[in-house]
Structure 1
Amino acid sequence: MTPELESLSEQLAAFLASLEMGARNMLLPSRLTQLAILVVLLLATWLIQRWAVPALRAWLRRREGWPMWRIRAGVVVQRRLPLMIFVTLAWMATWAMQAVTVFPSRSYLLELVATIATALVAVAFASRLVRNPILRKVVRWGLWGFVVVYYTGVVDEAARALDSLAFQMGEFRLSALTLMQALIVTGVLFTGARMVARVGAENIRRNEEISPSMRVLAVKILQIALYGLALFIGLKAVGVDLTGLAVLSGAIGVGLGFGLQKVVSNLVSGVIILLDKSIKPGDVISLGETFGWINTLGARYASITTRDGKEYLIPNEDLITGQVVNWSHSDKFVRLDIYFGTAYHDDPHMVRRIAIEAASGVRRVLADPNPVCHIVGFGDSSVDYILRFWITDPTGGLTNIRGNVYLALWDAFQANGVTIPFPQREVKVLGGSELGTRAVED
């Protein structure tokens, strides 16, 4: 038998011996009485929760208008309500036993179970701070296991047993104890980093002296720095040697650099966009057939929301290499042009004046700079005009404002007798043709 297996068997034997001694202590009359009380408490908890949980669920459903965080908190309390009921009953039984007897052994088991159950409830609520579901479960179950072994006094035995379950390759050794400690410590540090990043991001977003694009960049840098620092401290705190990991990560980085060129290109393009401030949240842009305003700028893509409610995720590389029309880059003034024609018998001076007055009366059309109207040509059946006007809210839509101006022109022309011509065709039947011969015969 190898030395590792001998050490493991000795540790398991010691652990089983401690469990055997604890089982013998449980057979004492005072411990049997406390065990019976705990069984009664479990039965009472089951009976109470059958009424309390549905009542709490129905009460939460009637809370209309509550913010979402309150609803989530209520759901968490509902799921942990049986354990909370048991904790309350266990402490009541402990205090009652301590009041009727002067011997601590008569209430030792009740107090131990009540303490462990209270710690389990505290861990269940504290682990909700970890947002990642998988990491949250790891942190919760790891802390629950630590609570149990800590209060039962077998911390050293459990630590030695977990440390003996190890994987070793050369000088690198990874045990189950180290892995569990790393996951728990990293989860706690990530939670703290997330809370600090959230507070810092809110302060950065409220700072009006920083441009919108630089706010986004500052928030991203803050998050990357905090999460990277949390990972580094978490691994160093449990004694993980990062020298070997540095060489391994370098080799993996070279491989990923070839396989993820597009991803890296989008990441670099996102940083460039934030630095040169060519596009920022709230800008109205056109990219090909897509017209909308920038909702968010991410590390890999930009979210563009159109007027019809669709949200397009445009890769950052396309915003760098493609032709982008930014309607609000330097300012929010946007000029729109519409074309129309009137009959030749209408006075063009009057038509221009009526068109300008009609456009000026439309909401969203600016009075300064004022609309202008020019003749652009003489068509086959109409005098052709261009009407130009300015707006400052392209996020409100372009098609609708053009439609409103066209409608105002229609109403103004109808009121002043201005004619909008349309093509007319005159058909002449020549004599001697088949149709002409039939017409003569008829």
Structure 2
Amino acid sequence: MADSLAHNLAAPGLLMQVAVALACVGLGWLCARVLRRIFAVDDLKQPVVQIGLRSFAQVLTPLLAVLFLVLAKLIAAKWQQPVSFLRLAIPLMASLGLMRFVFYVLRRVFVRDRGVSTFLLLFEKAFGALIWGSVLLYITGLWPDLVDYLANTILPIGRHQVSLLAIFQALISVLVTLIIALWAGATLEQRLMRLNTMHSSLRTVVARMARAVLVLVAVLLSLSLVGIDLTVLSVFGGALGVALGLGLQKIASSYVSGFVILLERSLSIGDMVGVGTYYGKVTQINSRFTVLEALDGIESIVPNDVFMTNAVQNYSLNHRILRLSTQLTIVYQENIEEVLTILEEAVSIVERVTHEILPQAILLKIGSSGLELEVGFWIVDPENGRLNVLSDVNRAIWRALQTHKIKVAQSRTDLRMVASHSPGADSQQVAQIDSQSVLPNSKNIL
């Protein structure tokens, strides 16, 4: 091909081939744009139809361009016109489509909210260099020689003789099937997360199990394609079982606990939970661990077996209504019912206090220092924290007490001076301090 291309580069038909190639690329871009508009659907209304459309759209332009280039080459060859440049353009456009598709799939599978990782960028550059190098070998005519060299190079592996070509074919088949499985799993997970009719925990466990099954099927299929006997995996399975029983039981327990949590729906994304010393909102439920985001923004990675072996407080399991309370002690007075009403009205005007269940002030105890009261109220957004709403409620109560001149009971110290006589020593005065609660109007006796 290289000699034919060099011979035809100086031919008068070169400009015509370049024009035809550019026309094929432009026609492919125009047709791809028209097809995108025709098949454009709403993701929420037709999620099944949309699966794969966007990924196919990434390679639609180069794919259509290759199709038109092949047709142009066939027509030019029939009319005995030079086609060397068209032969060059076909693998170039095909390689471009392949790279765009692979890059799109990799970013759909491995890229999250935090952006593209450095390893993925390096892999994309290495993959692009490999594709362009293969195209260069094909154009220069060295590709068949490379294939023959790999096929004739034999490596002894145990009792078997394996060529380099077979090893590369096995690696490529495993990578291709594995990437396709991960892509299908990521796409399925994205569609499941949009189904509002299914519980979030059930959607998560179905997505995780589907991805695991797809990866397993991809590995088994790729191994069978390269001629590896799958019965050898029985030895690996036995070794893996022994390893799980001896050294990996904590990891296995976390994985099993993760699926149990998702299946029984005891935790969901967005729940406010407390377990041990951890408290926060559930942001992720993975196979091995769960991420809790505290109110100060700190994220805690908690193994799933912790939720199975410890008591868990879920503030939003069946409902999101949470009761909070604050206590205070006021001086003795006759109009206690009026005071309770004032406190209830003061708390009810706080923004986060819900009116579905009205605040309630109760008399807990007639204590030695005053009347001990408790004001209970309910909120429906526990994920926004409890301390800030308690602060708002206490400030509202304090303003109400100041407005209606209601005094809060205070603890005071009673100081008594007692004369003490000890044998063999002069009399001396010893100060004793007794701490006790007295009313503001009481008098200290010295």
Aligned counterpart, 2:357: 369
Are 1:321 and 2:309 matched, yes or no?
yes
CA positional deviation for 1:119: 4.7
Structure number having the greater helix percentage? 1
Instruction: Summarize the alignment of residues 18-417 of structure 1 with structure 2, pairs less than 5 Å apart.
Output: 30=7, 108=84, 117-131=92-106, 133=120, 140=128, 143-144=131-132, 146-153=134-141, 155-170=143-158, 172-345=160-333, 347-417=335-405
> What is aligned with 1:60?
none
Matched residue SS, 2:361: strand
> Percent identity among equivalent residues?
27
| Distance in 2, Cα, partners of 1:147 & 1:227 | 30
Q: 1 CA distance for matches of 2:399 and 2:243?
A: 67
Give yes or no for contact 1:301–1:316 (8 Å, CA) kept in 2: yes
Asked if structure 2 preserves the Cα contact closer than 8 Å seen for 1:127 and 1:139, the reply is no
Tell me, which stretches of 5 or more residues in structure 1 are unaligned?
Answer: 1-21, 38-90, 437-442
1:263–1:198 Cα change, 3 Å: same
After TM superposition, give the deviation of residue 209 of structure 1 in Å: 2.2
Distance, in Å, in 2 between the alignment partners of 1:173 and 1:396 is: 65
Counterparts of 1:380 and 1:362 in 2: how far apart (Å)?
A: 31
- Retained in 2: the 8 A contact 1:204–1:215? yes
Distance 1:255 1:425, change over 3 A: closer
Deviation at 1:370, TM superposition (A): 1.7
Q: Distance in 2 between matches of 1:343 and 1:186?
A: 79
Secondary structure of residue in 1 paired with 2:413: coil
TM-score, normalised relative to structure 2: 0.68
Q: Is 2:331–2:407's contact at 8 Å kept on the other side of the alignment? A: yes
| CA distance in structure 1 between the partners assigned to 2:191 and 2:324 by the alignment | 38
- The normalised TM-score by structure 1 is 0.69
User: Distance in 1 between the 2:92 and 2:267 partners?
Assistant: 54
- Change over 3 Å in CA distance of 1:124–1:206 after alignment to 2: closer
Contact 2:105 2:183 in 1 (8 A): no
Deviations 1:273-305 (A, max 9, x none): 111111111111112332211111001110111
Structure 1 383/173 Cα, relative in aligned 2: closer, same or farther at 3 Å? farther
Q: 1:111 to 1:424 in 2, by over 3 A?
A: same
Contact 2:343 / 2:375 at 8 angstroms: preserved in 1? yes
Could you tell me whether the CA contact under 8 Å between 2:244 and 2:252 is conserved in 1? no
Please identify, of 143-152 and 416-425, the stretch whose mean Cα deviation from structure 2 is larger.
143-152
CA distance in 1, matches of 2:265, 2:161: 48
Secondary structure of the 1:206 match is coil
- Whether contact under 8 Å (1:138, 1:184) holds in the other structure is no
Contact 1:267–1:316 (CA<8 Å) still a contact in 2?
A: yes
Contact 1:296 1:302 (8 Å CA) reproduced: yes
Structure 2 residue 407 is the aligned partner of structure 1 residue 419: yes
1:417-439 deviations in whole A, cap 9, x for unaligned?
A: 11112212344556896699xxx
Q: In the superposition, relative to structure 1, how do residues 165 and 257 fare at CA in structure 2: closer, same or farther (>3 Å)?
A: farther
SS of the residue corresponding to residue 340 of structure 1 reads strand
Counterpart-to-counterpart distance in 1, 2:280 and 2:315 = 10
Separation in 2, partners of 1:347, 1:178: 94
